[in-house]
Structure 1
Amino acid sequence: MTERDPDLLKENLPGPTVAIAAEALFLINLMLLPGLGFVMLMVLWLVHRKHPSPLVRNHLQQTVTVSLWGGGILVGLTLLALWLGGLANPWTWVIAILYFVCLHATLIIFGVMGLNAAILRHPYRYPVLGPRLED
């Protein structure tokens, strides 16, 4: 274990609480309370967007950006598939549901990885949708 890594067996909440809260709200928005989790994440971002810790700002920026882009892509492309294929075509539903479930599961996996990084006090960039990390 390096000097930077916390001892997870001795510390209850080793990472910065705001960064952990941002990642947890990202997952809550995806799995438990869609919409309400997003509103809570946006309130957290409004209150802490100028936080002195670059790690906290990183996790807030990543979760808010991926929530906006991911939600737009998730809903937008699902509706586009339904519109182009027609609601009466069963294959349209197969494609739309398969797309939605696969992308949704991918966002959840990336969110768990982000939460892990926040707990370990590491910066994190969501693959593809996350903004570049500040150097």
Structure 2
Amino acid sequence: MQKTRRWFGAAVILLWAGALTGCGTWMHGDHQSVTLFTTPAETNVVVDDVVHLLAPGTVNLSRKADHRATLAKDGYDSATYTITRTWSWWVVADVLGCAIIFSPFCIMHDIDEGGYYTFDDKIYFTLDRKTSESVTTK
């Protein structure tokens, strides 16, 4: 009876650890919706030369890489910003799960698929007003 409980306990721990492996990608996916806000409002935004929107707006970004946003509006200097990803709290579950079953596959899965990372849900950009150039006369 005691031996059965030990095997059952070990099986539960291994199943729990297995469930945590790669959980970043499973739990929050490999894409994330991010809302972009600009000052001034109604600025044209191009993300990765593919997605065009008028800010404020929401874009669905792949967590596999950082992204480039180009902003333009008449009367303002154009600007390019990098939308940078950071590590997700799901990494903690990966590390705990992998520490128990000793498999680097779970962390590598989340790194490759993007579940290891996250973006801010709301990102704010500010454009500078164009300065008028002085005209010199001779």
Which protein has the larger Cα radius of gyration, Structure 1 or Structure 2?
A: 2
TM-score by length of 2: 0.28
Normalized per residue, the structure richer in strand is: 2
Normalized per residue, the structure richer in helix is: 1
TM-score by length of 1: 0.28
